[in-house]
């Protein structure tokens, strides 16, 4: 079996080592004998979106987000939206997550358009306001997810049922409603950097399995020896005081 991973804006949206999510998925496939191709998707027209099985985008500063927003709205948005409507599995982190919603209004009040696949919008409360920074623990499908967050924008879901997880420790979407992230079909947005997937192997495998089921009708994913990942996960939980 083979999976094709699209890495969106690898040079633009690469804060806090979110590239580790791509490496994690690639490795967890290869360790199982699944062939993987990683395609870097830089600004410009996107061809063959239907060949993608997994799409990942990381976080970025406001300036890089502006460039990414322009490219999404002017070129890639419509084809990516169609692919995600067709079940493409996607993980968007922080600034990337914000651009998968309706818009991100930055600290100067400038509104960056998003591609509107996630039912949410984000607004930065303005220069000099507290940033949402620190270790974060959430609960997703009864499991703990651990990571690190650093964002000024506050994200508000248009339907709180679309939340990816519930905040146990940290800010999450906005520090008010205990929601973290958002999801729609196989599209997931989150504020958890870390990078997220190496410390949360169950979530990584959830994404891989969804992609395999969509492309190959696979039902099972053989387990891996996750002793190292589990100890990193436990250490992160302890650091976050959970």
Active site residues: 94, 193
Does position 189 bind ligand GLN by CB under 6 A? no
Q: Which stretch binds ligand GLN (CB under 6 A): 3-11, 36-44, 144-152, 177-185?
A: 144-152
Does position 14 bind ligand GLN by CB under 6 A? no
**Site residues (CB under 6 A) for ligand GLN, limited to 65-94:** 65, 94
Does position 15 bind ligand GLN by CB under 6 A? yes
Q: Number of residues interacting with ligand GLN: please give it, by CB under 6 A.
A: 13
**Site residues (CB under 6 A) for ligand GLN, limited to 103-142:** 124
Site string for ligand GLN, 154-183 (x = CB under 6 A): ------------------------------
Give me the least distance between CB of 132 and ligand GLN, in Å please: 8
Among residues 77, 147, 152, 198, the one that binds ligand GLN under rule CB under 6 A = 152
Among residues 6, 10, 59, 181, the one that binds ligand GLN under rule CB under 6 A = 59
Give me the least distance between CB of 164 and ligand GLN, in Å please: 16
Cβ contact 92:74 at 8 Å: no
Task: Give contact residues for ligand GLN (rule: CB under 6 A).
Answer: 15, 59-62, 65, 94-95, 124, 150-153
């Amino acid at each position: 079996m083979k999976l094709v991973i699209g890495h969106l804006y690898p040079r633009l949206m690469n804060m806090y080592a979110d590239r580790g999510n791509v490496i994690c998925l690639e490795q967890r496939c290869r360790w199982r004998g699944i062939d993987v191709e990683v395609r870097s998707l830089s600004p410009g027209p996107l061809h063959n979106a239907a060949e993608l099985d997994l799409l990942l985008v990381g976080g970025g500063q406001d300036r890089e987000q502006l460039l990414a927003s322009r490219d999404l709205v002017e070129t890639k948005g419509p084809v990516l939206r169609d692919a995600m409507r067709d079940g493409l599995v996607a993980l968007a982190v922080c600034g990337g997550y914000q651009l998968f919603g309706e818009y991100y209004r930055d600290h100067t009040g400038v509104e960056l358009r998003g591609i509107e696949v996630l039912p949410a919008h984000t607004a930065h409360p303005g220069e000099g306001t507290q940033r949402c920074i620190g270790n974060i623990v959430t609960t997703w499908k009864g499991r703990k997810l651990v990571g690190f967050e650093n964002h000024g924008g506050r994200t508000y879901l248009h339907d709180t049922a679309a939340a990816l997880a519930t905040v146990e420790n940290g800010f999450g979407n906005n520090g008010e409603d205990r929601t973290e992230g958002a999801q729609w079909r196989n599209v997931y947005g989150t504020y958890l950097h870390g990078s997220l997937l190496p410390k949360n192997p169950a979530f990584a495998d959830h994404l891989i399995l969804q992609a395999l089921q969509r492309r190959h009708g696979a039902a099972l994913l053989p387990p891996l020896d996750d002793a190292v990942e589990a100890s990193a996960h436990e250490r992160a939980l302890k650091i976050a005081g959970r």
